[in-house]
Structure 1
Amino acid sequence: MTALDASELCRLLGPWTTGTTTLTDDLVTALVELIDAGLVPAGSRLPPQRGLATALLVSRGTVTAAYEALEARGYLATSRGSGSRVRSARNSLNSHPSGRLFSFTSAPADVIDLSTGSLPASPVAAEVLGRPIDVGAYLPTDGYFPAGLPVLRQAIADQYSRDGLPTRPQQILVTSGAQHATWLAMTALAGSGDLVLTEEPTYRGALEAVRATGARVEGLPLITGGLDVDLLRHALARKPQVLFCQTAIHNPTGRSMADAARAELAQVLNDAGLMTIEDTCSADLTLAGPPVARTLAGLVDPSLLLTIGSASKLFWGGVRIGWIRASETRIHGLVELRKAVDLASSVVDQLVAADLIGRTDVARRQRREMLGEALKATEAGLADAFPDWRWQSIDGGSGLWVDTGQDAVALAERGKRAGVRLAAGPSFSTYAGQRTYLRLPVWHEPTMLRSALFVL
């Protein structure tokens, strides 16, 4: 039975208050919509009343009345000691909902969205997308290329090689975005009951992918920018199936693992023979030093490593192209798995991506300049508005991991009601922890950001 944490349910609810009826009626309506849509599946256990009331900034009586109304309408079954369980079988989803993509939908004009670190299109992307796209050579084909267009696989392989990692196109699988790549990799390597290790905190999209497989997930704390390798050694005794990590630029903290620690990690992985998925989607977003951050590739046995990349961070999320770099044998298996759910990625998007990847050096310079200036403005605004908040300097990426020193879930709920969307720490946690943290994007226009901070 899926047990929803109060912070998860808050994210799914979104801006649920209307101001036109009672809070109880508003909460009942919002919960019914989630259940009917399958976003809270049948069998899910709702949070305890006191915890949900605290997170939603309402009285416990409001939540109690809402649960009782839902039970009367047949949506909940409540038993002493077991809590309240969703009874509706309408549109049941076999997943652990997080509300992450729910928050990515277009915000109303009067809402300032600080819940996502996704970046606007880079100048290179605007230039390439402004030109006609010639698909003529592919029109006589059926349009299905399960492993990816040869021209794009070659372009990705060539970029890896230019960055110092010799790569053949046969080692590349093109996917419909990095989330698709993460799901494929995790589904191929882990199953129900398996143990998956990751950093704590971690990328929330990865948590969704792990939970979709039915695997168990355990977080290893970060120390000095990377996961604690000593704790990983101890965790090996529990027979993990997979490690998911980000040693280049970590999301959400923006930190990079030290070279010595990365080499030590690689040795542990090689010795243990532990399959590893490394997310390198933010590796291009460095703020200083080399234009691309170092990764585990070249250090870990290629048969043990799946590297995930993306066109979204460097160019634009509207170009739905990601990829997996792995051994040729592993790529063959992933292609077969992919065919069951997604025959191929868009030819048009792939042609655009091939053109964009040829301009990687330019895009990296543009992103570094943009994020560097935006970071200065964001940190200055935060220091002015909330001098008690704390954060560490970042090595790259598009967000700050900020310790507010207070309940960030409650802060996010207050923000919702004031027209500001926030991403609280529990959505990045393997155990709904990190409760005082917010992940704040750094790229917003300074006036808009200061307006949001003033509202908060």
Structure 2
Amino acid sequence: METTSARQLADLVGDLDGERPPRYAALAQRVRTLVADGRVPLGTRLPAERDLAAALTLSRATVTAAYARLREDGWATARQGSGTFAALPAGPHRGAWVPAPVDDGTIDMAHAAPSAPSSVPAAFAAALAELPRHLPQHGYHPAGLPDLRARIAEGYGRRGLPTTPEQVLVTAGALHGVGTAFNTLLRRGQRLLVEQPTYPNALDVARALGLRVLPTALDPDEPEEWLSAAERALGTVRPAGAYLMPDFHNPTGRLLDTAGRERLARALRRAGTTAVVDETFAELWLDTPPPPPLAAFGEGHVSVGSLSKTFWGGLRIGWVRADAETVRRLTAVAVRSTMAGPVVEQLAAGALLDGADAALGDHRRALRERREALVGELRSRLPAWRVHEPAGGMVLWCGLPSARSRALVTAAEAYGLRLAAGPLFGTGHALDDRLRLPFTHPPEVLRDAVALLARADADVERGSRPATDHGRCPSDPVV
């Protein structure tokens, strides 16, 4: 059980003098933010009310009221005789790490969520034109529309992994596919090897299913070290499953080359480990295309894809690719939470895939321009930072001069800049010397964001926290 001391939590909360009254609500809001972005991990025991009041120079009644607000809203739980513990509210609208509505003027650099290209409305128009021929039927396709499954299968064939439609399950996005794969292939208590850092929501799904996460450190500057660590872990622990991102890894941007995939596939085969491979960024190569999917190098692995990053997250269309028998098992599990996917969105997805070459070409050109803008601004304004330029994807994984990621998040909030702290992408308190920054915004927005980031970094360097009267209130937590 993790515990945070009163002094540690007070340092994370910062100065409340600039907050609007009542003070207890401001304190509850700050703690909500810390829990939501991972700076106070779930299940952490919060300090005693008296101790936190002393550390913040507040009345005990103020802290008591703040804790009560946190419990009422689901951000904390109380255990008789044990204390108060950090929690997430029940319900998908508040219990997952997803983009929240932003205040006027707020720049969200916490999430890599692109806006929809012009091809999306055209695809929906085509879908509506196609819809009438489906209306005489019941509309339920548990594994997905046959035409869409065929298009997805063809895409894998072009990438070097021959696939039939029966090997494809259409899901409500990549996370739904990852969760379905975990739920189908793994049992509570089994070990799941992951890269560290990794995608936070996948970690949450694994924990919710009772899997024991086995992190292996991934440094984008030393990718061979991760392969060696993964081989050792696979050889000694022999985990039942692995969650991996070989294609422009989120958040490091690492691309595993052909030799690395062959080496990893051998290690997985020797260990008897099934890999769930997240290929969300696979089509977002900006320099050179990636090698064939990892499943092309070894049988039995599950590939997960999505249209959320290549086109638009609002589509909620993803898929799982596996052998036909595994897809039947996955489908049986998927229908427990959703009987079938929406027909119109699947028809639109098919239209988007038909025109994917042209649309992705435009998308890649925009991302290259934005990557160049963000990298250039960071190197100009924050020269002490280590900025690794990835060959694809849509995020930078920046190395900071010191362990200051959590402090930066807090400082940046007052300037209208939303960030995600490095530890959010890991399994504990590590990675506070890292910060993930997406290059999904237009160049002018990225330049503004880096200007605000430089101001926040200067505040952290000075050991001060800016006042919150910069024309806006502190942002709501990213949940």
Structure 1 residue 281: Cα displacement: 0.7
Question: Shift of residue 362 of structure 1?
Answer: 1.6
Counterpart in the other structure of 1:269 = 268
Q: What are the Cα deviations for residues 202-247 of structure 1, in whole angstroms up to 9, with x where unaligned? A: 1112112111211111211125446723322332322412111011
- 1:285-340 per-residue CA deviation (whole Å, 9 max, x = no partner) reads 001122x5532021011x2x010001111111111100000011100111111111
Report the alpha carbon displacement of residue 71 of structure 1 after superposing the two structures with TM: 6.1
**Deviation at residue 94 of structure 1 after TM alignment:** 9.5
What displacement does 1:448 show? 1.9
Pick from 127, 138, 158: which aligns with 2:122? Answer: 127
Q: 2:428 aligns with which of 409, 426, 431?
A: 431
| Aligned equivalent of 2:296 | 298
Counterpart in 2 of 1:369?
A: 365
Q: Is the 8 A contact 2:114 2:441 kept in 1?
A: no
Tell me the residue number matched to 2:142: 146
Secondary structure of the residue that 1:266 maps to in structure 2?
helix
Q: Pick from 111, 118, 123 the counterpart of residue 116 of structure 1.
A: 111
Q: Is the 8 A contact 1:199 1:227 kept in 2?
A: no
User: What is the alpha-carbon distance in structure 2 between the residues aligned to residue 284 and residue 107 of structure 1?
Assistant: 28
Trace 1:375-454 onto structure 2 (pairs within 5 A). Answer: 375-406=371-402, 407-454=404-451
**Could you tell me whether the CA contact under 8 Å between 1:71 and 1:77 is conserved in 2?**
no
Retained in 2: the 8 A contact 1:153–1:174?
yes
2:315 aligned residue: 319
CA contact (8 A) 1:242 1:276 kept: yes
One-letter amino acid matched to 1:416? E
Asked if the contact 2:420/2:435 (under 8 Å) is kept, the reply is yes
- Residues 98 and 427 in structure 1, CA contact (< 8 A), matched pair in contact too: no
CA, structure 1 residues 63+2, in 2 after alignment: closer, same or farther (shift >3 Å)? farther
Give yes or no for the alignment of 1:235 onto 2:215: no
Q: Secondary structure at the match of 2:149?
A: helix
1:336-376 Cα distance to aligned partner (Å, 9 max, x none): 11111111111010000011111222233122211111111
State the SS of the aligned residue for 1:330: helix
Cα gap change, 1:335 to 1:4, in 2 (>3 Å): farther
The alpha carbon displacement at 1:144 in A equals 1.1
Give the C-alpha shift of residue 146 in structure 1: 0.6
Task: Describe the shift of the 1:239–1:289 C-alpha distance in structure 2 as closer, same or farther (beyond 3 A).
Answer: closer
Find the partner of 2:331 among 324, 330, 335. Answer: 335
- Measured at CA, do residues 139 and 191 of structure 1 come closer, stay the same or move farther in structure 2, by a change above 3 Å? same
Unaligned runs of 5+ in 2: 72-76, 454-479
- Structure 1 distance, partners of 2:115, 2:190, is 37
Alignment of 1:9-408 (within 5 A): 19-21=19-21, 23-28=23-28, 44-48=43-47, 60-62=56-58, 67-69=63-65, 75=71, 77=78, 84-85=84-85, 93=90, 100-101=97-98, 104-131=99-126, 133=128, 134-223=130-219, 224-225=222-223, 228-236=226-234, 237-290=236-289, 292-301=290-299, 303=300, 305-406=301-402, 407-408=404-405
Distance 1:154 1:185, change over 3 A: same
Cα 1:110–1:231 change in 2 (3 A) is same
Deviation at 1:65, TM superposition (A): 6.3
Following superposition, the deviation at residue 412 of structure 1 comes to 0.5
> What SS does the aligned partner of 1:298 have?
helix
**Structure 2: distance between partners of 1:395 and 1:327:** 30
Instruction: Answer whether contact 2:422 2:433 (CA < 8 A) is retained.
Output: yes
Instruction: Name the CA distance, whole Å, in 2 between partners of 1:74 and 1:389.
Output: 36
Partners of 1:232 and 1:355 lie apart in 2 by: 39
Once residues 363 and 112 of structure 2 are traced to their aligned partners in structure 1, the CA distance between those partners, rounded to angstroms, is 13
Classify 1:74/1:154 alpha carbon distance in 2 versus 1 (closer, same or farther; 3 Å): closer
Residue aligned with 1:297, SS? helix
Q: Does 1:455 align with 2:452?
A: yes
Q: Counterparts of 1:33 and 1:428 in 2: how far apart (Å)? A: 16
Q: Is the 8 A contact 1:226 1:257 kept in 2?
A: no
Distance change (3 Å), C-alpha of 1:127 and 1:34: same
In the TM superposition, what is the alpha-carbon distance from 1:423 to its structure 2 partner? 1.4
Unaligned 5+ runs, structure 1: none
CA contact under 8 A between 2:409 and 2:420: conserved in structure 1? yes
Asked whether the 8 Å contact 2:181–2:330 carries over to 1, the reply is: yes
Q: Is the 8 A contact 1:241 1:275 kept in 2?
A: yes
Q: How much has 1:442 moved relative to structure 2?
A: 1.2
- Normalising by the residue count of structure 2, what TM-score does the alignment of the two structures yield? 0.80
- Distance in structure 2 (CA, Å) of the matches to 1:421 and 1:319: 24
CA RMSD of aligned residues (A): 3.5
State the AA in 2 paired with 1:294. P
TM-score, normalized by length of structure 1? 0.84
Q: What is aligned with 2:469?
A: none
